[in-house]
Amino acid sequence: MAFTLPDLPYAANALEPYMSANTFSFHHDKHHAAYVNNLNNLIKDTELADKSLEEIIKASFKDSSKVGVFNNAAQVWNHTFFWNSMKPGGGGTPSGSLADKINADFGSFDKFKEEFKNAAATQFGSGWAWLLLDNGTLKVSKTPNAENPLAHGQTALLTLDVWEHAYYLDYQNKRPDFITTFLDHLVNWDFAAENLSKAA
């Protein structure tokens, strides 16, 4: 069963002025699409062909013979997760049990933001910043290239893509501005709360 490129959960211009339709035309329609096509080609007629995306990621992680499979499978998963980590009119502060959990595990929402911004800003080269659940505790992490919490047995709640193609058309070399904009105007706290409740 071949994988297909999922539609964006909103119109390509829905996140303007914070993320442009032009960025999505490259990021979703070209980068994400290429990962899907590459993955389908790599797993065709192999033992992974009928596996779920999550199963492929777990089976190929740290397998030197399946580096290409892992990179493309994880990037398909990461990008789909990233699109859902944002929404029109996003940003602000979480509420309910997610807000309580953030305050309990980080000390305050401001402390979480500080840790998240630092992780996203200090990921050298390409990678991701995550809010995740690890053994019942919320943590912030950063991963290089295609790596994600799923590969490490953790539960992702939301992510920010800090590969240059995620922000360069809109922010050029100003990654910190992109990170701040994500938290202030784009982040989908409902999605994160849903992921937390599913993991509980």
79 annotated as ligand-binding: yes
| Dist. CA 86–CA 131, nearest whole Å | 13
Q: Residue 149, preceding bond cis, omega within 30 degrees?
A: no
Identify residue 198 by its one-letter amino acid code.
K
Q: Kindly write down the DSSP assignment for every residue of 69-126, as one continuous string.
A: HHHHHHHHHHHHHHHHTB-TT--S---HHHHHHHHHHHSSHHHHHHHHHHHHHH--SS
165 annotated as ligand-binding: yes
Contact call for residues 95 and 101 (beta carbons, < 8 A): no
Closest Cα to residue 162, out of 138, 140, 146, 139?
146
32 annotated as ligand-binding: no
| Dist. CA 81–CA 84, nearest whole Å | 5
Closest Cα to residue 78, out of 131, 136, 150?
150
| Dist. CA 7–CA 55, nearest whole Å | 22
Binding residue numbers? 27, 79, 161, 165
Binding residue numbers for Mn(2+)? 27, 79, 161, 165
